[in-house]
Amino acid sequence: AQSVTQLDSQVPVFEEAPVELRCNYSSSVSVYLFWYVQYPNQGLQLLLKYLSGSTLVKGINGFEAEFNKSQTSFHLRKPSVHISDTAEYFCAVIYSGNTPLVFGKGTRLSVIA
């Protein structure tokens, strides 16, 4: 079955430090990749997406991600985090056609002052 692996369940990081949240997906011919963010007691908000084209995609709040087909990865990065970035981050993949969006189990980012 197609799957999405988020390698870290929790990531603590100090304020203004860089962060990388890792995501790997099952190999496929073509995929559509997404990162969603969920703030405490809220719904899911789209952070960024890769549909085609440039492998480096920029999203909201200063986040970016790089699609690496050979590594089947789509890691999320931010050069300097803020307290307000504390949230849970989900990587998600559409593997083909009208198939469902498959989620990773999430990474809880905690930014420490």
Partner 1 sequence: NAGVTQTPKFQVLKTGQSMTLQCAQDMNHEYMSWYRQDPGMGLRLIHYSVGAGITDQGEVPNGYNVSRSTTEDFPLRLLSAAPSQTSVYFCASRPRDRRGWGQPQHFGDGTRLSIL
Q: List residues bridging with 44 in a β-sheet.
A: 38
Site for partner 1 in 45-74 (CB under 8 A): 46, 49, 51
Minimum distance, C-beta of residue 19 to partner 1, in the bound complex (Å): 19
What are the backbone angles phi and psi of residue 57, rounded to the nearest 5°?
Answer: -115, 140
User: If you write DSSP's letter for every residue of 18-75 in order, what string do you get?
Assistant: -EEE--EE---SS-EEEEEEE-TT--EEEEEEE-SS-SEEE-GGG-EEEEETTTTEEE
User: Under rule CB under 8 A, how many of the chain's residues touch partner 1?
Assistant: 24
The yes or no reply on residue 90 touching partner 1 (CB under 8 A) is yes
The yes or no reply on residue 9 touching partner 1 (CB under 8 A) is yes
Q: Which of 60, 83, 101, 112 binds partner 1 (CB under 8 A)?
A: 101
d(CA 4, CA 24): 6
Q: Which residues contact partner 1 by CB under 8 A?
A: 6, 9, 32, 34, 36, 42-44, 46, 49, 51, 90, 92, 94, 97-106
